[in-house]
Structure 1
């Protein structure tokens, strides 16, 4: 009788282990809060992946830089130590040349123009351009327009940035843009920015409304100047090493779930932008809408280095022609 019990228990454990082994878990790390539309879209992607694979695959999401900064997560992908991450296209400039064009100021004429490009063959070309360094793009999330927020005074013209230390992403385009406007660009991790603003390491920063609100930077910066200088998308990446380990069917499930999450995130983003603007105004932030023309003229020099690069200049022209 004891033998039968032990055999039965062993069989049960073996079956349980086999069932656990059938579940393929993909870890996704990012730097945003759980309230952000991108995080919510990732959770949605996880649900869709589980449904599509009938429980054979799952996505575990680690927000708020639990697994490292954006750049650190990208590097983990290159080693295959992390499956997926979300990163700003501006950060990708340091890894893949073609992403550099997406951070150019006033590149897109409208949100519709941006989506048309990002969802086209041009967008696909950019997403696939990192495969040789083990970074495969799955899609572009909406990250809205980036504008300046400041501690002491509003920005009505580029000259108002003179003498200001402005936090920027680790991006050559961002650095060149702020310099062209007369400010002093200071690259700082987003996770360290609240303290940097509070302590006076920087006087200003630039970002979209939801990030300005959810980071609580509005507690320190009481001026938000909507110049909408860039429309840099977020990129959903998967490690090419991990991707190559997936079967064609698993790859299809992942890509389909990612595509659906992009649609979902863009819907959430629209609502979150308005909510963020209403919230920061209610908190006493002064919002102004400066004339964009002087800003556009000031940053023309940022395009100069691209004119000698035939591949990137061609990409810029194709993007502008799609408007």
Structure 2
């Protein structure tokens, strides 16, 4: 009797499991650590997808640059070797030029203004603009405000950047911005930055507080200057080859999960910023609050140049600034 019971249980249990041959699995790679709020939100998204699809659709996450840099991940998406990734909008601008606008310094009035842009018509149009490059933007994850951090000196004025090599992303806009402040921009991939700081390849970098903390860059850099020069979001991207292979039902499951994960991520981000500030100060990092107007005035040269060189982007900047 007992043997029959266990055989019946085994048959029912196996019958309830999704047929592995019918499971559609999407690989998602990104460069952040597992304690980062963006990674946590994507894990939640993967759990939701599995739940909504009853195991028929699965997202496998590969963090910490396991499958390559952000640029390499985008290239893999384009040929269908990778399904999804999370990249900074600054890296995406190399594939979708209009996204360059989100990297302009002091573009947003405050966080409320920023989210209005991300979630409004302009934000949606910018996401869809990359589809001609076989990349489909799904949502914006909050990446807060970016500031400078350095090994040996506090950046309290733009002049303090003179003679310093500052790591930037592979972004023409970021390179131009650091030059406008007087620094020497040095593009380095995120995965190589800790070692580059240790070895003196660069004197500092620029990023948001949670990334500075979770990457442990505070172990090397003891000065964090909250000048908050730019607010560049992260973008969740799926390759159009992968997207087009999904059924209508699978797309529905995925987008529902993306929307819920976006809401969660923005809440996680608030907590992460507070925690990061507290923890880096405990670790002996000197946090300063420069006069932002000094940096903003320097950055105006970029806008003047843009007006002459790219009227379309200049008008897009103005349109964003005028959103109430």
Q: TM-score, normalised by structure 1?
A: 0.93
User: Could you tell me how far 1:309 is from its partner in structure 2?
Assistant: 2.6
Partner of 2:91: 91
Q: Indicate yes or no: 2:158 matched with 1:165.
A: no
8 Å contact from structure 2 (residues 30, 86) kept in 1:
yes
Measure, in 2, the Cα distance between the counterparts of 1:62 and 1:287. 33
**How many angstroms apart in 2 are the aligned matches of 1:205 and 1:295?**
16
Structure 1 residues 93-141: Cα deviation after superposition (integer angstroms, max 9, x where no partner): 1111110000000001111111011001111100000111110000000
Q: How many pairs are equivalent?
A: 312
* Cα distance in 1, alignment partners of residues 301 and 52 from structure 2: 48
In the alignment, the residues of structure 2 paired with residue 304 and residue 249 of structure 1 have an alpha-carbon distance, to the nearest angstrom, of: 48
8 A contact 1:168–1:175 mirrored in 2:
yes
Alignment pair present for 1:304 and 2:304: yes
**Is the partner of 2:160 in helix, strand or coil?**
helix
- The CA distance in 2 between the partners of 1:241 and 1:313, in whole Å, is 32
Once the two structures are superposed, the pairs formed by residues 227-246 of structure 1 within 5 Å of their partners are: 227-246=227-246
Q: Does 1:265 align with 2:269?
A: no
Structure 2 gap ranges (5+): 1-11
Q: Pairwise CA RMSD of aligned residues?
A: 1.7
Q: Tell me, what secondary structure is at the counterpart of 1:293?
A: helix
> C-alpha deviations, 1:182-202, integer Å up to 9, x for none?
110000011111111111110
Pairing 1:54-203 to 2, within 5 Å after superposition: 54-203=54-203
User: Contact 1:173 / 1:302 at 8 angstroms: preserved in 2?
Assistant: no
Partner of 1:317: 318
Q: 1:76: Cα distance to partner?
A: 0.4
Q: Distance in 2 between matches of 1:312 and 1:240?
A: 25
State how far apart, in whole Å, the 2-side matches of 1:160 and 1:227 are. 12
**Aligned equivalent of 1:7:** none
Q: Which whole-Å CA distance do the structure 2 matches of 1:220 and 1:206 have between them? A: 14
List alignment gaps of at least 5 residues for structure 1: 1-11
CA distance in 1, matches of 2:237, 2:303: 27
Q: Give, in angstroms, the shift of residue 16 of structure 1.
A: 10
Distance in 2, Cα, partners of 1:74 & 1:250: 22
Q: In 1, distance between residues paired with 2:176 and 2:192?
A: 22
Distance 1:301 1:258 in 2: 38
Contact 1:106 1:296 in 2 (8 A): yes
Q: CA deviation at 1:304?
A: 3.1
Distance in 2, Cα, partners of 1:227 & 1:309:
27
Q: Conserved in 1, the CA contact under 8 Å of 2:222 and 2:285? A: yes
Distance 2:311 2:78 in 1: 28
Looking at structure 1, the residues matched to 314 and 152 of structure 2 have their Cα atoms a distance apart, in angstroms, of 38
Looking at structure 1, the residues matched to 211 and 315 of structure 2 have their Cα atoms a distance apart, in angstroms, of: 32
Corresponding residue for residue 248 of structure 1: 248
The 2-side partners of 1:130 and 1:21 are apart by 32
TM-score by length of 2: 0.93
Deviation string 1:128-155 (CA, Å, 9 cap, x unpaired) is: 0011111000000000100000111101
* TM-superposed deviation, 1:306: 2.9
Alignment of 1:27-66 (within 5 A): 27-66=27-66
After TM superposition, what 4+ stretches of structure 1 lie above 6 angstroms from structure 2?
A: 15-18
What SS does structure 2 have at the residue aligned with 1:225? strand
Structure 1 position 18, deviation (Å) = 8.4
Report the alpha carbon displacement of residue 17 of structure 1 after superposing the two structures with TM.
Answer: 11
